[in-house]
C-alpha cells in the first residue's frame, strides 16, 4: 500500500489553504500510518487540502494546535479522535477502490471512477441525508424547530452538494 498515492483533488481543493499553516508543514514526516511514508511535502499538502475541502473543515479539526507562545500545529500528535477516524476512513476508501471499484471492467477500457472523501461527505463533517437530519430533529425537538432547521439548512446549503433539497427527500 505504500506505493499507492492518495490524491483527492478538485480545483477548489487545490486553492484551499489552512490559515497560516502552509509554511509550518515540516519537510520530513514521522507519524504517517496510512499515507505513504515517502509522500512529498507538496503531495501531502494537496491531499490535506482535499480532505479539508471534502469535509468542510480546517487543519485544527484533526491536528492539535501548539500551546502558546508556539504557533502552528503538532502534526505528529494522535490526540484527536477525528484524526484516528480519518485514518480508518482512508483504509476503508482504499479497500473500496481496490476490492470493489477497481474490479469493475469498462467496455471502453477507461479507468473506473474512484471513491474519494467528497463522494460521501460533500463538504460536511458528518455526512447524513437531509431526511435523516430532519427526522432526528422532529423526534427530539418537534415540528416547529424542525421547520426552522430545514429553513436554516436550505439557506446555508442550497445549491451545494451537501443536501438534496428536491421533492423526493
Q: What is the DSSP string of 17-69?
A: --TTTGGGS-SS-S--SSS-TT--HHHHHHHHHHHHHHHT--GGGTSEEPPTT
Q: Do 18 and 52 contact (CB within 8 A), yes or no?
A: yes
Tell the CATH topology of 11-121. Answer: Photosynthetic Reaction Center, subunit C; domain 2 (1.10.468)
Question: Domains of the chain: which residue ranges?
Answer: 11-121, 128-169
CA distances from 145 to 21, 67, 129, 134, 149 (A): 38, 39, 18, 10, 6
Q: What is the pLDDT along the chain (169 residues), one digit of tens a residue?
A: 333 444 433 333 333 344 444 447 888 888 999 999 999 999 999 999 999 999 999 999 999 999 989 989 999 999 999 999 999 999 999 999 999 998 888 888 888 889 999 999 999 999 999 999 999 999 999 999 999 999 999 999 999 999 999 988 7
| CB of 118 closer than 8 Å to CB of 25 | no
Amino acid at each position: 500500500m505504500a506505493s499507492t498515492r492518495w490524491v483527492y483533488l478538485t480545483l477548489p481543493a487545490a486553492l484551499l489553504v489552512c490559515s497560516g499553516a502552509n509554511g509550518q508543514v515540516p519537510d520530513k514526516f514521522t507519524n504517517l500510518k496510512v499515507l505513504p511514508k515517502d509522500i512529498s511535502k507538496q503531495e501531502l499538502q494537496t491531499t490535506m487540502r482535499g480532505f479539508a475541502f471534502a469535509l468542510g473543515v480546517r487543519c485544527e479539526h484533526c491536528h492539535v494546535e501548539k500551546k502558546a507562545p508556539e504557533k502552528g500545529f503538532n502534526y505528529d500528535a494522535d490526540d484527536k479522535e477525528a484524526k484516528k477516524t480519518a485514518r480508518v476512513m482512508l483504509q476503508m476508501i482504499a479497500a473500496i477502490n481496490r476490492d470493489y471499484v477497481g474490479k469493475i471492467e469498462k467496455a471502453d477500457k477507461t479507468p473506473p471512477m474512484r471513491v474519494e472523501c467528497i463522494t460521501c461527505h460533500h463538504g460536511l463533517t458528518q455526512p447524513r441525508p437531509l431526511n435523516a437530519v430532519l427526522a432526528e430533529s422532529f423526534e427530539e425537538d418537534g415540528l416547529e424547530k424542525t421547520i426552522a432547521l430545514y429553513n436554516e439548512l436550505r439557506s446555508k446549503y442550497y445549491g451545494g452538494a451537501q443536501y438534496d433539497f428536491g421533492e423526493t427527500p
